[in-house]
Structure 1
Amino acid sequence: MLEETVLSWQDRALCAQTDPEAFFPEKGGSTREAKRVCASCEVRSECLEYALANDERFGIWGGLSERERRKLRRRAV
């Protein structure tokens, strides 16, 4: 039940209504479309927090790529 509450932001995520392939592009593929969707998403910060807390290694989360999240994590340490 607690996890259900914690992840309730996912129900409001714009990516849930979009092609998931855009958020997991092939290596070297464009992230532009996914980041455009993220830019107008009301739960972007919750999504990014989730990705950082769970060490998500693939995909666009909270508008950031895996490399951008790694850089953000390094700056926070």
Structure 2
Amino acid sequence: MRCRANPDAYFAEGVKPAGARALCSGCGYLRACREFALARPGLVGVWGGTTWGERGRMRRAAVVERGPPAGGVKAGVSLVRVGFGDRESR
């Protein structure tokens, strides 16, 4: 995991989406990391190849498409497939 070797790159202010994807490309933990971050809206920085803003859009898109889950957006909903694809396969 490159994020452990250089954490400052992942939590710098203003990381662009393309930079986030580049930082995480090829990581075997990409999907798990993204799911972890999607379930925790307060996390900042790059997680699972996404920026904080991208994750917010993914959460909102999931709510619009499926409706809010019974326990709120954090209630175990997998948001990876909602319009943003699985970047592991690219």
> Which residue does the alignment assign to 2:75?
none
> Which residue does the alignment assign to 2:54?
68
Are 1:50 and 2:36 an aligned pair?
yes
5+ residue gaps, structure 1: 1-12
Aligned-partner Cα distance in 2 for 1:61–1:29 = 11
> Which residue does the alignment assign to 1:25?
12
What is the one-letter code of the residue matched to 1:57? L
- In the superposition, the TM-score normalised over structure 2's length comes to 0.59
Aligned-partner Cα distance in 2 for 1:20–1:29 = 13
Tell me if the contact between 2:10 and 2:23 (Cα under 8 Å) persists in the aligned partners: no
Higher share in helix: 1
Tell me if the contact between 2:31 and 2:48 (Cα under 8 Å) persists in the aligned partners: yes
Q: Percent identity?
A: 39
Q: Residues 32-76 of structure 1, C-alpha deviation per residue, up to 9 Å, x if partnerless?
A: 2x4313111011000000011122431000000000000000111
- In the superposition, the TM-score normalised over structure 1's length comes to 0.68
Which moved further from structure 2: 40-49 or 53-62?
A: 53-62
5+ residue gaps, structure 2: 64-90
